[in-house]
């Protein structure tokens, strides 16, 4: 169900008025009156000849199972703000759905005190009307009057709330341009004032201010966000190939969905919310690899905290590379647990074709292929691992000839050989945080751990940094291990080079 911008079918949304020839300057009448040849939708209303139609737009009424389209007309009737909603029941046949006329005549001229004993005249220059129905008996309609004085404008917007047989008019504070209504979460309405957004309930009461992730949001953008809301103030959206979990109250990113087992050039196609229960939302994310292969992933998001748990719905992690230079003799690749013998610790193989490969890693690994993570990292004082009972290990990618003999190693490196990344498997979620420092032979050494591993496959990055000592301070080496993404590329080494 898509909520489009309310669009003009007959005339533009802002309508100009002008003085009638021969009348006083305060007599304001429509410059152009738009009427249709009979049969006209307006004929279904009482006293139709008195109606001066100025604006028509699509009007959507939401129900539990469907969205119904109606036509919303607005204009003046006996100089009073008037709206009417019709539905088309057949070709050139219409049925009245709703009609409302303001109690008081519209104010066509305003005089504004500008100081120094002077006033500025503002003349009514346009009306703009738009609205939606939250249900078959609950409608929200924004009624806007625009006054112009010189090069300045006064914009007045009221909210017409229709609920059953009750009608309520609410003044809205100092609108800049025009309030555009959008269906939001549940039975709430989002009203746009320039690039500001306010959420109202079905009674026209303010629920909260909404902070959008982008300064400009089209109707299509807002519709997509609406479909991806997890609650009234939390939702998901795609930005630069990533899925962002957004807080619409604070205007801040809560979390980001990242599947480190996928290659960096995997294209994010779309995602869908497939389940909501007990404060958790489960989403399915679809990717396309460079080879054209499809890859689906699933994760669960704690709606309150933003914590994300990952799982691979298609049963394996994928390593897919671009062309790697210097690999003319390589014919196969073999994934082997780190520093373990072949073939006992081989877990996957793939052909090496045209300088690249696509390797599928198994979703789960048996315990005899793993080691305690406390032994894998040998953590110093000041660094903690939670939980300390996890098992896991890294994997090496051996480059082999056509007979399966290892002739080299494929590695992911950063700017230097000291900056690199490895694929790491863990049997449960693990966090390793903290740092340690030591001094040896006049040189300081610091080890930093900022690691958040999720069950399954992860990319673990290693970075070495040298800081030259100044003003009597020691030189320093900083070694960092982190799961925060770094830029790496695939490099081939022969056995002699390695």
Residue 410, strand partner residues: 397, 492
DSSP character for 6?
Answer: P
277/373 same-domain check: no
- Residue 240's pLDDT is 84
Percent composition of the chain: helix, strand, coil (DSSP 3-state, to 5): 5, 60, 35
Phi then psi for residue 291, to 5 deg, are -75, -10
Domain that holds residue 352: 318-494
Q: What is the pLDDT of residues 430-439, one digit of tens each?
A: 999 999 999 9
Residue 76, strand partner residues: 52, 81
User: Which segments of the chain have a pLDDT < 50?
Assistant: 1-25, 27-36, 38
Q: Which residues contact 353 (CB under 8 A, 6 or more apart)?
A: none
119/159 same-domain check: yes
281/419 same-domain check: no
- 2 belongs to a structural domain: no
- Residue 137's pLDDT is 82
190/252 same-domain check: no
Which H/E stretch holds residue 46?
Answer: none
- 261 belongs to a structural domain: yes
Give me the number of domains the chain comprises: 3
The residue with tokens 């939702």 is 235
Q: What is the pLDDT of residues 39-82, one digit of tens each?
A: 688 889 989 888 888 766 666 776 655 677 788 888 899 999 99
- 8 belongs to a structural domain: no
% residues pLDDT > 70 (the chain)? 87
- 6 belongs to a structural domain: no
- Residue 30's pLDDT is 43
From 269, 284, 314, give the residue that closes a domain: 314
136/276 same-domain check: no
Q: Which residues contact 240 (CB under 8 A, 6 or more apart)?
A: none
How many CB atoms lie under 10 A from the CB of residue 235?
23
- 55 belongs to a structural domain: yes
160/247 same-domain check: no
Cis upstream peptide for 387 (omega within 30°)? yes
- 380 belongs to a structural domain: yes
- Residue 150's pLDDT is 87
- 445 belongs to a structural domain: yes
d(CA 124, CA 402): 83
Q: What is the pLDDT of residues 325-337, one digit of tens each?
A: 999 999 999 999 9
Phi then psi for residue 222, to 5 deg, are -65, -40
467 neighbors 476 (Cβ within 8 angstroms) = yes
Q: Which residues contact 286 (CB under 8 A, 6 or more apart)?
A: 268, 269, 270, 271, 294, 295, 296
- Residue 63's pLDDT is 61
DSSP character for 473?
Answer: P
Using DSSP, state whether 49 is helix, strand or coil.
helix
How many CB atoms lie under 10 A from the CB of residue 433?
14
270/348 same-domain check: no
- Residue 15's pLDDT is 36
426/364 same-domain check: yes
From 265, 295, 314, give the residue that closes a domain: 314
Which H/E stretch holds residue 198?
Answer: strand 196-201
- 222 belongs to a structural domain: no
From 269, 299, 314, give the residue that closes a domain: 314
172/293 same-domain check: no
23/160 same-domain check: yes
187/127 same-domain check: yes
294/367 same-domain check: no
């Amino acid at each position: 169900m898509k909520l489009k911008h309310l669009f003009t079918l007959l005339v533009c949304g802002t309508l100009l008025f002008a003085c009638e020839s021969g009348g006083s300057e305060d007599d304001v009448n429509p410059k152009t009156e738009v009427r249709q040849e009979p049969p006209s939708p307006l004929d279904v209303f009482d006293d139709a000849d008195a109606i001066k139609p100025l604006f028509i737009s699509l009007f959507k009424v939401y129900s539990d199972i469907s969205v119904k389209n109606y036509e919303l007309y607005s204009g003046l009737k006996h100089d009073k703000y008037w709206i009417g909603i019709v539905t088309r029941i057949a070709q050139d046949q219409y049925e009245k759905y709703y009609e409302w006329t303001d109690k008081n005549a519209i104010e066509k001229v305003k005089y504004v005190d500008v100081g120094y004993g002077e006033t500025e005249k503002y003349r009514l220059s346009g009306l703009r009307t738009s609205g939606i129905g939250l249900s078959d008996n609950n409608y929200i309609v924004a009624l806007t009057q625009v006054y112009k004085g010189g090069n300045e404008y006064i914009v007045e917007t009221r909210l017409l709330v229709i609920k059953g047989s009750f009608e309520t008019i609410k003044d809205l504070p100092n609108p800049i341009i025009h309030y555009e209504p959008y269906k939001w979460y549940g039975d709430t309405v989002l009203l746009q004032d320039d690039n500001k957004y306010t959420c109202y309930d079905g009674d026209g009461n303010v629920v909260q201010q909404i902070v959008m992730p982008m300064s400009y949001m089209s109707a299509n953008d807002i519709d997509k966000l609406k479909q991806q809301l997890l609650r009234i103030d939390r939702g998901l959206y795609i930005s630069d190939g990533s899925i962002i979990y957004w807080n619409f109250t604070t205007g801040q990113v809560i979390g980001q969905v990242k599947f480190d087992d996928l290659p960096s050039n995997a294209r994010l196609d779309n995602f869908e919310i497939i389940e909501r229960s007990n404060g958790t939302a489960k989403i399915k994310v679809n990717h396309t690899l460079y080879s054209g292969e499809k890859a689906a992933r699933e994760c669960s998001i704690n709606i309150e905290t933003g914590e994300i748990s990952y799982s691979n719905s298609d049963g394996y992690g994928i390593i897919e590379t671009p062309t790697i230079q210097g690999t003319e003799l390589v014919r196969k690749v073999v994934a082997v647990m780190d520093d373990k013998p072949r073939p006992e610790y081989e877990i996957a193989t793939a052909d090496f074709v045209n300088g690249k490969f696509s390797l599928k890693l198994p979703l789960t690994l048996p315990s005899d292929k793993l080691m305690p993570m406390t032994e894998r990292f040998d953590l110093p004082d000041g660094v903690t691992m939670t939980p300390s009972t996890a098992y896991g290990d890294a994997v090496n990618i051996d480059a082999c000839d056509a007979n399966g003999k290892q002739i080299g190693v494929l590695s992911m490196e950063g700017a230097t050989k000291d900056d690199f990344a490895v694929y790491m498997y863990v049997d449960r979620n693990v966090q390793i945080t903290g740092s340690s420092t030591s001094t040896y032979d006049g040189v300081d050494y610091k080890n930093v751990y900022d690691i958040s591993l999720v069950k399954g496959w992860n990319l673990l990055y290693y970075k070495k940094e040298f800081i030259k000592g100044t003003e009597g301070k020691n030189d320093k080496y900083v070694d960092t291990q982190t799961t925060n993404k770094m830029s790496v590329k695939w490099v081939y080494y022969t056995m002699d080079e390695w």
